[in-house]
């Protein structure tokens, strides 16, 4: 049992998404004392997670004062940061877990480090996290699942959610009573704001949605968010109540607990709502997609525009914002009805009618316990959708320390996966030319890795008499370099293998220069891991196409009967 500092210097939603991990650290017996380092602006959300023992806050406004503006002063900035991190490091944490998706986390972890502390940044999941921050689009995990793994924890569904005190519960109850809300009412929350303009569904759409919903006399709407959001309650009439800018984070959480469903842009409060067990309809626009940042819950839906430009690379430069016109209020109204009434058939018909402009995803747990998303209505199978699942399997199998993760039966995993996917998608993976190209590339990468391994092995054998074998060593080093160039080129030409290549080079960067033999041994491990992952991905593709063919001929019931 130890004391652990978790560094999360990103936004409020990211802190809430770390909730399951923080809880598990404490309750899976991994930490006696759990402390967090967060941005002061978002620290209040930590009060909803009583399993956090200590909250350290860094004031970005104060740092900004030292670093920018007319009074900027590098000497004072240095003194301030030094003071802050020295105080933090004085707590002598036994372990630091960095889950900040930018370099501030890495440097903070370094500065809060104490002598003798266990450090895990250089291998496994923490290293993967560091590498994937350079190419977010290759991340196949939901952030909350990734955080669990970085902390060395197994996925768990034993998460109680955010905890709201009695005071806030009473406040919420009396607030609703004051506004004539009864037990029979269906309360729909609207969160119309977002941290960035490109993430906001247009206000006019919220108004049209409100009008559609208010045709049902049982529905009441609560507008939540900050006072910077525009108040549309007067437009929607007396059955719409605004609490914009009038609640603390804790009161907001208490109020959300009473809502039947929350309709929101992809922003901090959806994660609070998820922590409160509320059904959520999240609208993802601009560069946001559900796969990594949707609320961590299996309740609700994620709605995305069906556009070739989504997810957008540079939403801040887009003057079109076609994504804003793509999501029709009718779609969201149907989903709200589905959440409130369970009126599936009619709502699904509505969704099919808008199938050209929008795609609705439903969360589910994949065979290894990770959160993933299926389309609600059948759509063509994409190579990316299957690859995402494969990569989750590969990382789970190869990044975890061997002792802590039982090896899974690949056939069983692929069978379950193929069954789940074939229910939701049309077409087959095997019919795509991508698979054949991928197989060829993987075969080549495996061969290159073997070549690299052999070269490293020779280097190790010559290393003892380096001076005598100088020319030979130089030739072998050049061979390794050639292999690396070829591996990098494979990543560029075949995007699905990019994650493997990125991770390979990230691992290579950590090889320590403790003599020729040690360096070659480290490099050899990197080649071996790359070969192992390439073969695994090859095997997964092969198994999957076999499964798929089998399932097309054999009834689904049979699969269930044999446990697939």
Partner 1 sequence: MTTENTIFTENIRILDEKNPELAGRIRDIVVPPHYTIVQARTGDPVLKIGTRTLHSLYDPRKEAILFVQHQYERTPPEKGKPLVVVGFGCGYHIEALLEKGIRPAVWEPDEHAFYCALMSRPLMHVLSACDVRVGAAWPDQETEKATVWMYRPALGDVRSGCLRNTIHTRENSPRRISGAFKQSLDIMVVSPIYGGSLPIAYSCTAALKRLGHSVRLWDASLFEKPFQKVLDLTIDGQNKKVLFDLFQHLISEMIVAECAHRRPDAVLCLAQAPISLHALQRLREAGVVTAFWFVEDFRFMQYWRTYAPAYDFYCTIQEGAFFDELRRIGVQRYRCLPLAADPEMHRPVALSDDEKTFYGSDLSFMGAGYYNRRQMFTGLLDFDFKIWGSEWDKSSILWQRVQRNGNRVTTEETVKIFNATAVNINLHSSAILSGINPDGDFVNPRTFEIAACGAFQLVDYRPVIERFFEIEREIICYTSLEELREKASYYLRNNNPRKEIARAGRDRVLREHTYDNRMRTLCAWMLQERPDAFYHKHAGRLAVRDVDSFTKEHPEVKPLLDEVAAKGWQPDLDTIVATIRSRSGPMQYPDAVFLLMKEYQALIQEHLQ
CA distance 564 to 558: 9
Q: Which is nearer to partner 1, 214 or 321 (CB)?
A: 321
DSSP letters of 185-215?
Answer: SEEEEEE---SSGGGPPPHHHHHHHHHHHTT
Q: Angle, nearest 10°, between helix axes 383-399 and 516-553?
A: 130
Nearer to partner 1, 89 or 377 (CB): 89
Tell whether residue 409 is a contact of partner 1 (CB under 8 A): no
Tokens of 128: 């993967």
| Token representation of residue 52 | 């956090």
Q: Which of 98, 108, 247, 523 binds partner 1 (CB under 8 A)?
A: 108
Q: What is the rounded distance in angstroms from the CA atom of residue 137 to the CA atom of residue 49? A: 30
Among 227, 320, 481, 509, binds partner 1 (CB under 8 A): 320
One residue of 91, 169, 211, 322 binding partner 1 per CB under 8 A:
322
Residue 79 engages partner 1 in binding (rule: CB under 8 A): yes
Q: Which of the ranges 132-140, 280-288, 313-321, 457-465 carries the binding residues for partner 1, by CB under 8 A?
A: 313-321
State the distance between the two ends of the chain, measured CA to CA, in whole angstroms: 39
CA distances from 465 to 471, 480, 513 (A): 12, 19, 18
By DSSP bridging, strand 33-39 and strand 3-8 are parallel
Nearer of residues 133 and 538 to partner 1, judged by Cβ: 133
Choose one: 76-84, 120-128, 215-223, 462-470; the region binding partner 1 (CB under 8 A): 76-84
Contacts of 30 (CB under 8 A, 6+ apart): 1, 2, 4, 24, 151, 152, 153
82 binds partner 1 (CB under 8 A): yes
User: Taking CB under 8 A as the rule, does residue 111 contact partner 1?
Assistant: yes
Q: Write the burial class of residue 143 (CB in 10 Å: 0-12 exposed, 13-18 middle, 19+ buried).
A: buried
- Whose Cβ is closer to partner 1: residue 228's or residue 426's? 228
Among the residues of 464-497, which ranges form H helices? 470-493
| Residue number with CB closer to partner 1 (121 or 397) | 121
Q: Give 7 or 501: the residue with its C-beta nearer to partner 1.
A: 7
The mark string for 333-372 relative to partner 1 (x by CB under 8 A, - otherwise) is ----------------------------------------
Binding flag, residue 179, partner 1 (CB under 8 A): no
Residue 412 interacting with partner 1 (CB under 8 A): no
Q: Are 222 and 190 in contact, with CB atoms under 8 Å apart?
A: yes
Least distance from partner 1 to the Cβ atom of residue 102, Å: 7
Is residue 81 near partner 1 by the rule CB under 8 A? yes
106, 98 Cβ separation under 8 angstroms: yes
When binding is defined by CB under 8 A, the residue of 104, 154, 432, 457 that contacts partner 1 is: 104
Is there binding between residue 136 and partner 1 (CB under 8 A)? Answer: no
Helix (H, G, I), strand (E, B) or coil at 55: strand
Q: Interface residues with partner 1 (CB under 8 A)?
A: 60, 63-64, 67-69, 72-75, 77-79, 81-82, 85, 102-104, 107-108, 110-111, 317, 319-320, 322
């Amino acid at each position: 049992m130890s004391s652990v500092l978790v560094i999360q210097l990103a936004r409020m939603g990211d802190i809430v998404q770390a909730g399951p991990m923080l809880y598990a650290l404490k309750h899976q017996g991994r930490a006696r004392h759990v402390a967090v380092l967060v941005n002061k602006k978002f620290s209040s959300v930590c009060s909803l997670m009583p399993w956090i023992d200590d909250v350290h806050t860094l004031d970005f406004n104060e740092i900004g004062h030292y670093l920018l503006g007319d009074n900027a002063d590098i000497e004072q900035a240095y003194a301030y940061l030094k003071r802050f991190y020295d105080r933090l490091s004085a707590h002598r944490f036994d372990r630091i877990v960095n889950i900040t998706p930018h370099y501030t986390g890495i440097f903070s972890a370094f500065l809060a480090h104490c002598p003798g502390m266990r450090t895990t940044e250089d291998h496994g999941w923490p290293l993967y996290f560091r590498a994937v921050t350079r190419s977010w689009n290759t991340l196949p995990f939901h952030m909350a699942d990734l955080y669990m793994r970085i902390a060395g924890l197994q996925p768990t569904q034993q998460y109680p959610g955010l905890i709201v005190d009695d005071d806030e519960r009473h406040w919420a109850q009396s607030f609703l009573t004051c506004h004539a809300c009864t037990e029979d009412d269906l309360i729909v929350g609207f969160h119309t704001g977002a941290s960035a303009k490109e993430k906001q569904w247009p206000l006019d759409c919220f108004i049209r949605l409100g009008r559609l919903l208010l045709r049902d006399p049982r529905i009441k709407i609560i507008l939540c968010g900050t006072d910077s959001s525009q108040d549309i309650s007067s437009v929607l009439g007396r059955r719409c109540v605004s609490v914009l800018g009038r609640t603390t984070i804790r009161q907001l959480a208490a109020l959300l607990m009473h809502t039947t469903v929350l309709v929101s842009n992809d922003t901090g409060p959806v994660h609070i709502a998820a922590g409160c067990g509320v059904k959520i309809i999240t609208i993802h626009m601009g560069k946001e997609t559900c796969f990594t940042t949707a609320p961590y819950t299996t309740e609700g839906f994620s709605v995305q525009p069906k556009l070739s430009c989504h997810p957008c690379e540079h939403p801040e430069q887009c003057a079109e914002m076609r994504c804003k016109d793509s999501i029709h209020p009718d779609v969201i109204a149907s989903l709200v009805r589905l959440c409130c009434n369970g009126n599936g058939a009619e709502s699904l018909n509505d969704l099919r009618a808008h199938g050209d402009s929008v795609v609705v995803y439903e969360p589910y747990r994949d065979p290894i316990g990770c959160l993933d998303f299926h389309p609600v209505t059948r759509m063509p199978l994409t190579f990316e959708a299957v690859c995402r699942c494969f990569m989750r399997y590969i990382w789970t199998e190869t990044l975890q320390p061997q002792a802590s993760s039982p090896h899974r039966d690949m056939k069983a995993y692929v069978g379950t996966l193929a069954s789940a996917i074939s229910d939701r998608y049309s077409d087959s993976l095997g019919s795509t030319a991508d698979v054949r190209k991928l197989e060829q590339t993987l075969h080549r990468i495996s061969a290159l890795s073997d070549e690299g391994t052999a070269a490293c092995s020779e280097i190790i054998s010559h290393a003892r008499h380096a001076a005598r074998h100088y020319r030979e060593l130089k030739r072998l080093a050049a061979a390794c370099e050639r292999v690396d160039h070829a591996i990098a080129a494979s990543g560029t030409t075949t995007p699905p293998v990019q994650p493997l290549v990125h991770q390979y080079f990230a691992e290579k960067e950590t090889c320590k220069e403790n003599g020729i033999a040690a360096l070659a041994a480290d490099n050899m491990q990197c080649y071996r891991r790359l070969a192992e992952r390439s073969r695994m991905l090859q095997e997964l593709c092969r198994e999957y196409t076999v499964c798929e063919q089998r399932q097309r001929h054999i009834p689904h019931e049979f699969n269930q009967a044999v446990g697939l």
